[in-house]
Amino acid sequence: MDIDLSHKEDSLAPQVGSLTAWAETLGFTALVLALGFWLAPGDPLQVFGFPWPMLAPLLLGVRYGFFKALVSASLLVFTLLLLRFYGPLYDELPGPYIIGVLVSSMLVGEFRDLWGRRLERLKMANDYRQYRLDEFTRAHQMLRISHDRLEQRVAGSDQSLRSSLLLLRERMREVKTPDEALIWMAEPIISLLGQYGSLRVAGLYAVNKEQQVLPWPLATIGEMGEIDADDRMIRLCVDRGDLVSVGADSIERGEEKTFSSLQACIPLIDTHGNLIALLAVRQMPFFLFNDKTLSLLVLLAGHAADLLQSDPRALQLPGADMQSFSQHLYRSLLDAERHRLPGTLCLLELPEVDEDLMRLFFESQRGLDLHLRVRNGRGHDCLLILMPLTPQTGVGGFVARLEQLLTKRFGPGYTLLELEVVVRQFELPTTGSRSALREFLFKECELNEGQIAI
């Protein structure tokens, strides 16, 4: 299973504060000055002609922004002042030249920073869409797996795949310390993977923040023991962030040990791209060592990784829809606080239960929106809508589209006002304070902490 990481590529320029950026800034400016002294020793800074040395701060401003452009321009001006006061060149101080170099460089750098900030916001929005797409892809792949084939594969088991995943989620709800979730969940995870892969000898190993595999397993099937973190297959798996396995023909000929002591390495990577742990497989039945089985193990490992990264407060909610909605709300809050990406909560409150009307509201769901049907403290049927990447002003267009759908479905005269549907809206805060959000959900909407976690 290949993973396309093209949407996570870094920018072409190094980080602004890196040593490479500073080296390029100082080196390129020095190179321009050296060329000036070599080509035109009588006027190295081109004060009396076209100011070619000004290209250095301009290009650096385009590449790195305001500060690096200012540093480069300042070096040119400083060199000019040295030649003015301590050398035979430039009897008069060229004020327009100095002002022109500084102002031009700063303008270019400032516009580069402005567009850089805009591109960063677009990148974060794209990452969120990619996150939702990856999440949907995993769910879609699970649905594509034939239920009959899975039942045949685990004919000796009394659990289906769905019940196994639900049991894993129930075990996760019992974890009290989120930092130790991987330790507590290691045995259930490797049991699930071992069941559907018929693994004979395998181990689950933690991966630290430096992307290093810890040698001792958290849980094992069979006699696994310590592994070599520098094993070629393990390093490939960590570097690629994808399944790595030897060929089936190599196993049949007994040649796999010349490459690695393992048959397969399966990473536990969540939809954010975080590598949490690694499943090292030393032995599994040859007739099951195929792309279909390995793809299923990768898919299950991804679900387990997503579960380990879940908000523990959301997992305490009684329903899967409530848990999923709370986790997406938590991510939207982080995007609003850290990256200033807009997000809005909208509540449609119906005075009484109306299945036709509620069905119409669900049909109006946009691509990235999430819906949660709840009953508030006033006993009213409500639809809570999370609108990622949508400012509060965008709710007006959403409500107008609902009005059009009502007219199209039920005829003229049917409006939200006539049907006594109350629309409440709240824009996610960017300040880090969530008291206003709690005020909106728990007091204005009269929901409770058993329905949504924040």
Question: 265 and 295 share a domain?
Answer: yes
Q: What are the Cα distances from residue 229, in Å, to 208, 235, 356?
A: 12, 7, 58
Tally the residues of the chain: 454
Question: 9 and 138 share a domain?
Answer: yes
CB-based contacts of 368, cutoff 8 Å, min separation 6: 128, 129, 132, 387, 388, 389
Contact 183, 308 (CB under 8 A): no
Which of 144, 179, 209 is at the close of a domain?
144
Question: What domain count does the chain have?
Answer: 3
Q: Which of 205, 165, 192, 191 is nearest to 307 (CA)?
A: 165
* 152 assigned to some structural domain: no
Distance (Å, rounded) from C-alpha 234 to C-alpha 94? 63
Q: Which CATH number belongs to the domain containing residue 360 in this structure? A: 3.30.70.2880
Q: Which residue range(s) make up the domain with 128?
A: 1-144
Distance (Å, rounded) from C-alpha 34 to C-alpha 51? 15
Structural tokens at position 128: 């969120």
Question: 222 and 324 share a domain?
Answer: no
Question: 324 and 379 share a domain?
Answer: yes
pLDDT tens digits in sequence order for the chain, 454 residues long = 333 444 444 455 555 567 888 888 888 888 888 887 788 777 777 777 778 888 888 888 888 888 888 888 888 888 888 877 776 677 677 878 888 888 888 898 888 888 888 888 888 888 888 888 887 887 777 666 655 555 555 545 545 666 777 777 777 777 766 667 888 888 888 888 888 888 888 989 998 888 888 888 888 898 888 888 788 888 888 888 888 887 655 555 555 555 677 888 999 988 677 888 999 998 888 777 788 888 888 888 887 887 787 766 666 677 778 887 888 888 788 778 876 778 899 999 998 888 888 888 888 887 778 899 999 999 899 999 998 878 888 888 888 888 888 888 887 878 888 888 899 999 998 887 788 898 999 999 999 888 888 7
CB-based contacts of 36, cutoff 8 Å, min separation 6: 44, 45, 46, 52, 53
Question: 139 and 187 share a domain?
Answer: no
* 454 assigned to some structural domain: no
Distance (Å, rounded) from C-alpha 454 to C-alpha 372? 15
Q: Which of 128, 135, 133, 70 is nearest to 103 (CA)?
A: 70
Q: What does pTM read for this prediction?
A: 0.54
Q: What are the Cα distances from residue 386, in Å, to 188, 209, 322?
A: 33, 32, 12
Question: 362 and 421 share a domain?
Answer: yes
368-373: list long-range contacts, CB under 8 Å, 24+ apart: 368/128, 368/129, 368/132, 370/324, 370/325, 370/328, 372/321, 372/322, 372/325, 372/452, 373/321
* 387 assigned to some structural domain: yes
